[in-house]
Homo-oligomer: A and B are copies of this chain.
Amino acid sequence: MIDIQLDEEQQQIAETVTSFAKQQIRVAAREADENNTVPASVIDQAWGLGLIQNAIPEAYGGYGADASAVTGTVIAEGLAEGDLAIAMHALSPKLVVDPVLHLGNDEQKQRILPTYTGEKFAAGSAAVSEPRWNFSVSTMTTTAKSDGGDYVLNGNKCLVALAKDAPFTIVYAKDDNGVVGAFIVEQGTAGYNVGEREANLGLRALATYEVALEDCKVPAANRIGTDAQPMLRRARVAQAAMAVGVAKASLDYAIVYAKDREVFGVKVAQKQAIAFMLADMAIDVDAARLLAWEAAWLIDEGEEHMREVALADQFAADAVMTITDNGIQVLGGHGFIRDHPSELWARNGRGFVTFEGLASV
A residues engaging B (CB < 8 A)?
A: 271-273, 276
CA distance A94 to B341 in the complex (A): 58
- Chain B residues positioned under 8 Å from A276 (CB to CB): 272-273
- Chain B residues positioned under 8 Å from A272 (CB to CB): 271-273, 276
Smallest CB-CB separation from A271: which chain B residue?
B272
Can you list 6 A-B contacts with CB-CB less than 8 angstroms, sorted by A residue number? A271-B272, A272-B272, A272-B273, A272-B276, A273-B273, A273-B276
CA distance A272 to B271 in the complex (A): 7
CA distance A271 to B272 in the complex (A): 7
* Residues of A contacting B: mostly: helix
CA distance A28 to B271 in the complex (A): 41
Least Cβ–Cβ distance between A127 and chain B, in angstroms: 40
CA distance A273 to B272 in the complex (A): 6
- Chain B residues positioned under 8 Å from A273 (CB to CB): 272-273, 276
CA distance A36 to B276 in the complex (A): 41
CA distance A6 to B271 in the complex (A): 38
Least Cβ–Cβ distance between A116 and chain B, in angstroms: 51
- Chain B residues positioned under 8 Å from A271 (CB to CB): 272
Least Cβ–Cβ distance between A149 and chain B, in angstroms: 51
Least Cβ–Cβ distance between A267 and chain B, in angstroms: 14
Least Cβ–Cβ distance between A98 and chain B, in angstroms: 42
CA distance A276 to B274 in the complex (A): 11
CA distance A273 to B280 in the complex (A): 12
CA distance A273 to B273 in the complex (A): 6
Least Cβ–Cβ distance between A144 and chain B, in angstroms: 40
CA distance A276 to B271 in the complex (A): 11
Smallest CB-CB separation from A272: which chain B residue?
B272
CA distance A276 to B329 in the complex (A): 15
A-B pairs with lowest CB-CB distance, top 6: A272-B272, A272-B273, A273-B276, A271-B272, A273-B273, A272-B276
Smallest CB-CB separation from A273: which chain B residue?
B272
CA distance A272 to B268 in the complex (A): 12
CA distance A4 to B303 in the complex (A): 60
CA distance A271 to B273 in the complex (A): 9
CA distance A272 to B273 in the complex (A): 6
CA distance A273 to B276 in the complex (A): 8
Smallest CB-CB separation from A276: which chain B residue?
B273
Least Cβ–Cβ distance between A302 and chain B, in angstroms: 37
CA distance A88 to B227 in the complex (A): 58
CA distance A272 to B272 in the complex (A): 5
CA distance A271 to B271 in the complex (A): 9
CA distance A276 to B277 in the complex (A): 12
